[in-house]
Amino acid sequence: MKPERWTNPANKLFPHQVGFTAPPHDFDAAPSDFLRIAPDTVGAHGRMLHVPDYAHELTQRIDNFHLLEEVVHCMSNNGADVVGQVGTNWVHCQGTTPDEIHDICARISDTYETPFHMAGYCLIEALSDLNIEKIALNSVYYWPDWRDGIARFLREAGFDLVYAGNFVDQGFYDTQEKVNEKTWIFPGELAEKSMTRVAELAPQAEAIVVNGMPNWRRADGVPQRALYYTPALEEVVGKSIVASDVALYWRIFKTLGVAPEGNHGQLLSTLS
pLDDT average, residue stretch 246-251 = 98
Biggest CA–CA distance in the chain, Å, is 56
pLDDT at 51: 81
Domain residue limits at 106 = 16-123+246-269
CA proximity to 56, closest of 149, 241, 183, 174: 183
Residue 3 lies in a domain: no
pLDDT at 50: 84
> Which CATH number belongs to the domain containing residue 23 in this structure?
3.40.50.12500
Residue 4 lies in a domain: no
**pTM (two decimals):** 0.96
Whether 62 and 140 map to the same domain: the answer is no
Cα–Cα distance measured from residue 7 to residue 143, given in angstroms and rounded to the nearest whole number: 44
pLDDT digits (tens, 9 = 90+) for 139-194: 999 999 999 999 999 999 999 999 999 999 999 999 999 999 999 999 999 999 99
Whether 106 and 179 map to the same domain: the answer is no
Residue 10 lies in a domain: no
Whether 84 and 45 map to the same domain: the answer is yes
Whether 140 and 239 map to the same domain: the answer is yes
Residue 184 lies in a domain: yes
DSSP letters spanning 162-189:
EEEE-TTTTTS-S-HHHHHTTTTEE-TH
Q: How many domains does the chain have?
A: 2
The share of the chain scoring above pLDDT 70, in percent, equals 100
Residue 82 lies in a domain: yes
| Strand, helix or coil for residue 42 | strand
Whether 73 and 166 map to the same domain: the answer is no
Residue 156 lies in a domain: yes
CA proximity to 88, closest of 63, 113, 123, 42: 123
**Does the structure show a pLDDT above 80 at 54?**
no
Q: Side chain identity at 105, as an amino acid letter?
A: C
Whether 104 and 137 map to the same domain: the answer is no
Whether 118 and 253 map to the same domain: the answer is yes
pLDDT digits (tens, 9 = 90+) for 91-140: 999 999 999 999 999 999 999 999 999 999 999 999 999 999 999 999 99
Residue 6 lies in a domain: no
pLDDT digits (tens, 9 = 90+) for 77-103: 999 999 999 999 999 999 999 999 999
Whether 49 and 112 map to the same domain: the answer is yes
Helix axis angle for 98-111 and 66-77, nearest 10°, is 30
Residue 182 lies in a domain: yes
